[in-house]
Amino acid sequence: MEVSVDNGNGHGEETRKLQYTGGSSYIVSLPKKWIQDLGLKQGDHVTILRQGDSTLQIAPASKRTTKEQREATIEVTKDNNPYFIARKLIALYFLGYNVITIIPKDGRLSVEQREVIKDIVRRILMGTEIIADSASGITLQVLINLLDLSVDAAFKRMLLIAKSMYRDVLIALRENNAELAGEVIKADDEVDRFSFYIVRQLKIAIKNEHLLKEIGLEEPRICLGYRLVTKFIERVADHSTLIAKDVVEMHEQPINKEIGEKIENMCDFALEVLDDACLSMFKRDYEAADRAIEKSRKIDEMEKDILMSIVKPRDINEIYRIKMITENIRRAAEYASDIAEIVLNMTVQQTLRKG
């Protein structure tokens, strides 16, 4: 079967005429907009898969354009705030640019501008390397490919780091270990790196339905769910960082041992709910997500029990500190519930079909 290209718009339902070429071949034209959106050209191959008795699925063959180079240049002046440059750089990374060059409009990049750019690349932009560096400009290249690290795999690693941060900060709290708490604060950068990477991959994939399926997402609306869930995990990590900062500042004032044990139990429960919610997302399991939401409600009782167990009179600063720690743990369970809510929205249609 051969294909030709016409000027169709590539959207909505279209009717096209079959043409007989003799022998056993028929020709049907494909929408031009569809061809252009996928970056295909004359001579490229497509795969044709029969689905059921009357449907054919046409998709680009394995040779795809996922390694297409998209280049951008940022012109800066010596008066530009370095963080203005950083925000623009991050935005271009999100949009899927592979090569980004930062050049001075006049003169040269300041030392501060160069240091901030390098810091952003090292701490936040996963898969990005500096391939040229001088006072006359810096060139970055994103080396990681869309299919090298799937969204699910990146999300699982991000989740693992966020959970480890909570476990480590509880050890730091128990041992008054400011050094370990400092490591938790540093780990927050790693969570942000995965978050930025996932957002970039989602933005690239949502423009191309075939790539969307390649990375394991069924339809574009799922991307919104993943974007929100990624933000929730980022927030979970932020709350463990707040506890870690408290440990660094207050490590000479240990928490009461009995209350500390209750805080650890509360944290274990919050992480358990987080696991349940994320597992329901990976499995696209509506019922499991619903159970996770119900389970998360128990966190309020655990927090109240801790606050009620504070023996008075007690230093007001210590009371405030305990409330701050329990609140940051409770927020992790609340974000888990929010994740489960997203899963309900993602999977509710399949429950209706079953019905």
| Model confidence at 53: pLDDT above 80 | no
CB 336 within 8 A of CB 270: yes
The token pair that represents 255 in the structure block = 């928490």
Residue 27 pairs in a beta bridge with 2, 19
The token pair that represents 116 in the structure block = 């901030």
Average of per-residue pLDDT values in the chain: 84
Closest CA to 236 of 179, 169, 177: 169
Mean pLDDT lowest for which of 32-41, 290-299, 300-309, 314-323? 32-41
Q: What is the mean pLDDT of residues 145-162?
A: 84
Q: What is the DSSP letter of 98?
A: S
Closest CA to 10 of 27, 29, 35: 35
Q: Binning pLDDT at 50, 70 and 90, where does residue 5 land?
A: very low
- Digit-coded pLDDT (tens) for 184-237: 999 999 999 999 999 988 888 777 766 777 766 777 778 888 999 999 999 999
Tell me what pLDDT residue 313 has.
54
CB 228 within 8 A of CB 342: yes
Output the pTM of the full model.
0.74
The token pair that represents 69 in the structure block = 């180079």
| Model confidence at 61: pLDDT above 90 | no
| Model confidence at 308: pLDDT above 90 | no
| Model confidence at 314: pLDDT above 70 | no
Tell me what pLDDT residue 50 has.
63
| Model confidence at 49: pLDDT above 80 | no
DSSP characters for 267-317? Answer: HHHHHHHHHHHHHHHHHT-HHHHHHHHHHHTHHHHHHHHHHHT--SS--HH
- Digit-coded pLDDT (tens) for 73-122: 999 888 888 888 899 999 999 888 889 999 988 888 888 888 999 998 88
HSE-up of residue 92 (Cα within 13 Å, Cβ side): 23
The token pair that represents 120 in the structure block = 């952003």
How much of the chain, in percent, has pLDDT values that exceed 90? Answer: 41
Mean pLDDT lowest for which of 137-151, 228-242, 305-319? 305-319
Q: What is the mean pLDDT of residues 25-33?
A: 80
Instruction: Count the residues in the chain.
Output: 355
Tell me what pLDDT residue 257 has.
85
Residue environment code for 128-139, b if the CB has 16+ CB neighbours within 10 A, otherwise e: beeeeeeeebbb
Element (H, E) at 223: helix 220-250
Tell me what pLDDT residue 222 has.
82
Q: Which CATH architecture has domain 2-60?
A: Ribbon (2.10)
How much of the chain, in percent, has pLDDT values that exceed 70? Answer: 86
Q: What is the mean pLDDT of residues 312-331?
A: 85
Could you please state the CATH topology (level 3) that the domain comprising 151-354 is classified under.
Answer: Methane Monooxygenase Hydroxylase; Chain G, domain 1 (1.20.58)
| Model confidence at 48: pLDDT above 80 | no
HSE-up of residue 262 (Cα within 13 Å, Cβ side): 20
* Helix, strand and coil in the chain, % to nearest 5: 60, 15, 25
Domain limits, the chain: 2-60, 71-142, 151-354
Query: 71-142 — its CATH code?
Result: 3.30.110
Residue 207, φ and ψ in degrees, nearest 5: -85, -10
CA distance 162 to 232: 11
Residue 128's contacts (CB-CB under 8 Å, 6 or more residues apart) are: 93, 121, 140, 141, 142, 143
| Model confidence at 352: pLDDT above 80 | no
Tell me what pLDDT residue 47 has.
76
Residue 241's contacts (CB-CB under 8 Å, 6 or more residues apart) are: 165, 184, 185, 188
> Residue 182, Cβ neighbours under 10 Å: how many?
15
Q: Binning pLDDT at 50, 70 and 90, where does residue 24 land?
A: low
Residue environment code for 310-336, b if the CB has 16+ CB neighbours within 10 A, otherwise e: eeeeeeeebeebbeebbebbbbbbbbb
Q: For tokens 């079909």, what's the residue?
A: 353
